[in-house]
């Protein structure tokens, strides 16, 4: 196991979403609002037609730091979370989950967690519920191919130039820490 990977990061919750199935198909509910500390701001979809696409590792600083509820509604993702919270015992560590349209799992991420994923199937769609609006001045990325040593499952990758030129983990955690004061 990579020394910066951990099994559990406090505050992150992996849980099944509720669904019912009958002869018409399914009805799915994947917004347990009781997890969010405040009001919800945004619902977003990420459509990823190309196998191996990496998005992230993204985070926003205060006052636009986000709580997120992430659900893969089509396809499959290798989902990654990095702890940037200054007083956390897992600061600078990362964990991962497999989310897909078959396992009916979703992950809640508190503020101070950078998030990213890799599409494990073509035409993967990821649904986000977010507690804060996007703010370009508060939005940052950590290089997903950098120092964390994440073993992305698909070796043929597509990553944006902005993400590949993202911050180091120490610079990211410093930006987040500075925004708290």
The active-site residue out of 58, 97, 115, 176 is: 58
CA distances from 42 to 92, 143, 173 (A): 27, 25, 24
Closest to 78 measured CA to CA, from 56, 108, 111, 59: 56
In the residue annotation, 97 being an active-site residue is answered as no
Nearest-angstrom CA–CA distance, 131 and 6: 25
In the residue annotation, 176 being an active-site residue is answered as no
The active-site residue out of 31, 104, 128, 134 is: 128
What residues are annotated to the active site? 58, 128
């Amino acid at each position: 196991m990579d020394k910066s990977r951990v099994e559990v990061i406090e505050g992150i919750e992996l849980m099944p979403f509720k669904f019912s199935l009958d002869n018409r198909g399914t009805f799915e509910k994947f917004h347990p609002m009781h997890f969010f500390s405040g009001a919800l701001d945004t619902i977003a979809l990420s459509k990823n037609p190309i196998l191996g696409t990496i998005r992230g590792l993204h985070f926003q600083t205060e006052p636009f730091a986000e709580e997120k509820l992430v659900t893969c509604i089509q396809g499959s993702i290798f989902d990654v979370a990095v702890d940037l919270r200054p007083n956390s015992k897992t600061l600078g560590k990362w964990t991962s989950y497999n989310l897909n349209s078959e396992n009916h799992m979703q992950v809640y991420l508190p503020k101070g967690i950078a998030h990213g994923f890799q599409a494990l199937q073509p035409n993967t769609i990821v649904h986000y519920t977010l507690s804060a609006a996007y703010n370009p001045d508060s939005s940052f990325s950590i290089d997903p191919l950098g120092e964390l040593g994440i073993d992305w499952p698909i070796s043929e990758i597509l990553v944006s130039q902005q993400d590949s030129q993202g911050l180091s983990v120490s610079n990211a955690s410093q930006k987040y820490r500075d925004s708290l004061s």
